[in-house]
Amino acid sequence: MIERLSLRLRIFLFFAFIGLASCAIIVASLYFALGRIGPEATPHLVLFGGISCFAILLLNGYVWQKFDLNVANPIDMIVKDVRTLVHAGAQQDLNSETGKYLGFLNPAIREISQALVEAREETDKQVSEATALANRQKRRLETVLQDLDQGVLICNLENKILLYNKRALNILHVSGELGLGRTLFSVVSAAPFRHALDRLHNRFEEGRHKRHKEGLSTMVIGATADGGHTLQGKVTLIVNTEENLATGYTVTFEDITHQLAENVERDRLLHQAMMELRHPAANLQATAEMLAGDFNLDADTRKNFEKILVKETHSLSASIEAMDNKSHQLMAGAWPMSDVYSSSLFNCILRRNASEDLTLTCEFVGTPVWLHCDSVTIVELIEFVMRKVASQTGLRVFQLSANRTGRKIYIDLYWHGEMVTISQIDSWLDEPLDADLGEITGRDVLDRHKTDFWCTKTPDGTVHLRLPLTPARDHHEDDIEVEREIIPERLDFYDFDLMERTDLSDIEDTPLRELTFVVFDTETTGLEPSNGDEMISIAGVRIVNGRIMRGESFDQYIHPGRSIPAASTAIHHITNEMVADAPPVEEVLPKFHSYVSDAVLVAHNAAFDMKFLSLKEAQTGLKFSNPVLDTVLLAAHLQGQTASLTLDTLAEQFGIEIPPEVRHTALGDSLATAEVLLRLIDLLEAGGINTLRDAVEVEKKAAAIRKQQAKY
């Protein structure tokens, strides 16, 4: 029982016992003295006894206060610093002023701590050197996965995702919904994949995979969860080293939505051709037989048959021409085209031009845009035409721009001087572009992009040679660098430790390290959610298997429906202009609810953030009933109620750097809180707090103490 009390409380009880025991001895001595002296001495004994007891208690209290200040409290602080150093790995020196009255104890502990730090650094260095080769191999694998044109997923037998590559995100058109530990069927239709897995399991259990031509693989055709895209790929079972137990499976896939639509259109075109050609062909055949036969036709009848012949010939020619155009469009769609950033396209033209004998000067103007084309042939075409214009006009200086107008992206080539005619352009387009491209001409490139050149001249003498192209098919950020921030170049989307994990029926008994957390934070118009303050930003980051998944973050501005006070903007730097075009809370919270899924919610001072979420339950129809952990309460259990528990203080204590530019942003504070949580879990485990149930219990105790303190 007494071992559960803090050191300072036990020392206080010790001094209190000494004081009370001393008083009890004095009282007992005076009582026996009273019996020997007589009742007439009672007032004197009571007076001197009271003075003695008061003096003893006062002296005892003074000694205790000095002992607590110079011994107990420093020991308590040293213990906390050492536990933080040992279990949380915070690289910080112990304060030399702490425990300066403890003699050699404080220097000895400092020396031991420094030795621990040096030993840990040496161990880390050895581990780093020992794993360098493995890391290089891992990076090669990551590079291969990143560069694959197909999406790759690896799942365990509970259909939880263990790995995905960047291409999988692009094909599935998702961000927050796809994540480690999430179910595969949250992003794809379940039925085709379940059927494929059933077939593979049966093949494996019966041993037929050893002689089957596809082994443990089978083709699968499915769709994304929203039904918007058709997927084709392969599912392959993963077995253990003994090859007697399936442990998971891989899925490789690609988006065949456009290909499928083109195949359907091809079949429809073929069927339409047969139907539309059958009638004119039959009429032509009958008319030809009548004209060629010996039927003694009079002049009028023969003339009518000749008119029918001409009419059906025209009809047949028109049908063939229409089908040829459609066929041409389908052929153009079969070319390998992709979304390209115009600045990348122009830089390719610049590099291509630099490799030629005659160097032209080309300036890029305007804001870059995304477009959809075959970049190889478009670069060759523009560079080819630019050289033809230079040869025709003698000019060496040109300008290029790309602008979006309506449903087209216009590539404009500018120069000042002589205008080229359409006939000249047509003659250039009939020439082969480059020997490396075979016999492909400029006309082939234009036809397959379903476009054409035209040339105009403005009153100021500027000539425009314009090439219309189609906009990008997928949505891209205006700033290409934004995508690199959201999706890291290095593969960060895998955790094979999840392969062997099985779900527990009761999440409360799950070890803290095996839980999936979503650490979140909100920025608001003020500090009073019940009095009309609103959220203006919400962000979160997932922790899976003890790893912060920075590539799976959620970050969204929210339109608050009211103005943001200047005092609040001074803290989080979010202005009214920044949220003017942001979606309302009714659109943002459902996305965040889907992002959180069944994870444990974590926040620093969680009651504040959860209040904002709970007040929106009626408005959004969503309730966040997930378990919630508060890093403030967990830190209060470990550090004590009197310690500073701000996010900045804890980050400094644990050696976590919060860049000033992201402090008081929802995502920046979420990442810092996630780092703090991992350090707290280290300390909690060292103190015997291992499961979610344990953590919730110590939170309740810490919260109860803080409520009692708030009364005074």
What does the H/E/C string look like for 558-581? CECCCCCCHHHHHHHCCCCCCCCC
> In this model, does residue 435 exceed pLDDT 80?
no
pLDDT for the residue numbered 391: 87
Q: Which residue did the predictor score with more confidence, 399 or 140?
A: 399
Q: Which residue has the tokens 């050893």?
A: 210
Contacts of 636 (CB under 8 A, 6+ apart): 643, 645, 702, 705, 706
Selection from 119, 251, 103 nearest residue 184 by Cα: 251
> What 3-state class would DSSP assign to 249?
strand
- What is the Cα–Cα distance from 11 to 72, expressed in whole angstroms? 8
State the Cα angle at 231 between 471 and 497, rounded to 5°.
Answer: 110
Half-sphere exposure of 257 (CA within 13 A, CB side): 11
For residue 470, pLDDT beyond 50: yes
80 against 433, higher pLDDT: 433
Higher-confidence residue of 40 and 536: namely 536
How much of the chain exceeds pLDDT 70, in percent?
A: 78
Quote the pLDDT of residue 602. Answer: 95
Which pLDDT value is given to residue 523? 94
Give the pairing of strands 338-341 and 516-524: unpaired
The alpha carbon dihedral of 415, 421, 422, 428 has a sign of: negative
Average pLDDT over residues 377-381: 85
Q: pTM for the whole thing?
A: 0.53
Nearest to 514 by CA among 537, 490, 497: 497
Reference 272, options 217, 325, 319; nearest CA is 319
> Which residues lie closer than 8 Å to 129 by C-beta, 6 or more apart?
none
Give me the mean pLDDT over the 377-382 stretch: 86
Q: 492: closest CA among 67, 163, 137?
A: 163
Decide if pLDDT at 92 tops 70: no
Q: Which two tokens stand for residue 641?
A: 């109620």
705 touches 641 (CB < 8 A): yes
Q: Which region among 148-152, 278-282, 543-547 has the lowest average model confidence (pLDDT)?
A: 278-282
Catalytic, out of 201, 476, 593, 664: 664
HSE-CB of 129 using CA atoms within 13 angstroms: 5
Q: What one-letter code names the amino acid at 561?
A: G
Decide: 526 and 505 in contact? Cβ < 8 Å: no
Please give the single-letter amino acid code of residue 538: I
- Cα dist. 586→32, 176, 532, 535, 554 in Å? 82, 17, 16, 12, 16
Give the pLDDT confidence score for residue 543 in this predicted structure.
92
pLDDT for 667? 92
- pLDDT computed for residue 2 by the predictor: 59
**Is the model's pLDDT at 258 over the cut of 90?**
no
Report the residue count for the chain: 712
- Percent of residues, the chain, with pLDDT higher than 90: 19
Cα–Cα distances in angstroms (integers) from residue 225 to residues 169, 198, 249, 588, in the given order: 13, 20, 19, 20
Q: Is residue 438 very low, low, confident or very high in pLDDT (cuts 50, 70, 90)?
A: low
Per-residue pLDDT at 393 = 86
437-446: long-range contacts at Cβ-Cβ below 8 A with a sequence spacing of 24 or more? 437/376, 437/377, 437/380, 440/377, 442/381, 442/384, 442/385, 445/374, 445/377, 445/378, 445/380, 445/381, 446/381
CA-nearest of 496, 560, 546 to 516 is 546
Q: State yes or no: pLDDT of 183 exceeds 80.
A: yes
Q: How far, in Å, are 9, 548, 562, 564, 579 from residue 569 at the CA level?
A: 44, 29, 13, 7, 12
Residue 500, amino acid: E
pLDDT score for 416: 86
Report the Cα 396 to chain-centroid distance in Å: 47
For 500-529, write each residue's pLDDT tens digit.
554 444 688 889 988 999 999 999 999 888
Q: Tell me how far apart the alpha carbons of residues 171 and 144 are, in angstroms, rounded to a whole number.
A: 17
Q: Are strands 370-373 and 462-471 parallel, antiparallel or unpaired?
A: antiparallel
DSSP symbol at 338: E
Q: Tell me which residue of 98, 90, 13 sits closest to 638, measured CA to CA.
A: 90
3-state secondary structure of 473: coil
Please give the structure tokens belonging to residue 276: 């539309």
- Is 39 a residue whose pLDDT tops 80? no
Q: Is a pLDDT exceeding 60 seen at residue 492?
A: no
Instruction: Between 83 and 512, name the one with better pLDDT.
Output: 512
Q: CA–CA distance from 703 to each of 92, 280, 636, 641, 645 (Å)?
A: 29, 88, 9, 10, 13
Average of per-residue pLDDT across 55-73: 84
Residue 662 · residue 485 · CB < 8 Å: no
Ranking 126-130, 375-379, 435-439 by mean pLDDT, the lowest is 435-439
| CA-CA-CA-CA torsion sign (498, 176, 258, 438) | negative
State the Cα–Cα distance between residues 164 and 631, nearest whole angstrom: 30
Examine the residue annotation and report whether 664 is marked as an active-site residue of this protein: yes
Please name the residue that has the structure tokens 């919060």: 658
What is the distance between the alpha carbons of residues 40 and 43, in angstroms, rounded to a whole number?
8
The token duo for 149 is: 């044109």
Q: Quick one: tokens of 577?
A: 């202009």
Mean pLDDT (whole number) for 195-212:
86
pLDDT band, residue 396 (cuts 50/70/90): confident
Choose among 69, 62, 54: nearest CA to 8: 69
Q: What is the rounded CA–CA span in Å between residue 579 and residue 154?
A: 38
609, amino acid identity: D
- Maximum average pLDDT range among 90-94, 285-289, 317-321, 558-562: 558-562
* Tens-digit pLDDT profile for residues 445-456: 888 788 888 888
Burial of 545 (0-12, 13-18, 19+ CB in 10 A): middle
**Of 257 and 621, more confident:** 621
pLDDT at residue 480, as a whole number: 39
Q: What average pLDDT does this structure show over 285-301?
A: 70
What's the mean pLDDT in 399-421?
A: 89
Q: 595 and 518 in contact (C-beta within 8 Å)? A: yes
Task: Please report, for residues 578, 614, 617, 628, the alpha-carbon distance to residue 589 in angstroms, rounded to integers and kept in the order given.
Answer: 19, 11, 10, 17
Q: Which residues pair with 217 in a beta bridge?
A: 236
Q: Which tokens sit at 304?
A: 């009518």
Cα–Cα dist 91/114, whole Å: 10
For 123-161, the pLDDT digits (tens) are: 777 777 777 766 666 666 666 666 667 888 999 998 888
pLDDT at 708: 55
Alpha-carbon span 611 to 184, nearest angstrom: 32
C-alpha of 399 from chain center? 39
Highest mean pLDDT among 71-85, 86-100, 321-335: 71-85
Q: Is the pLDDT of residue 328 over 90?
A: no
The amino acid occupying position 253 is: F
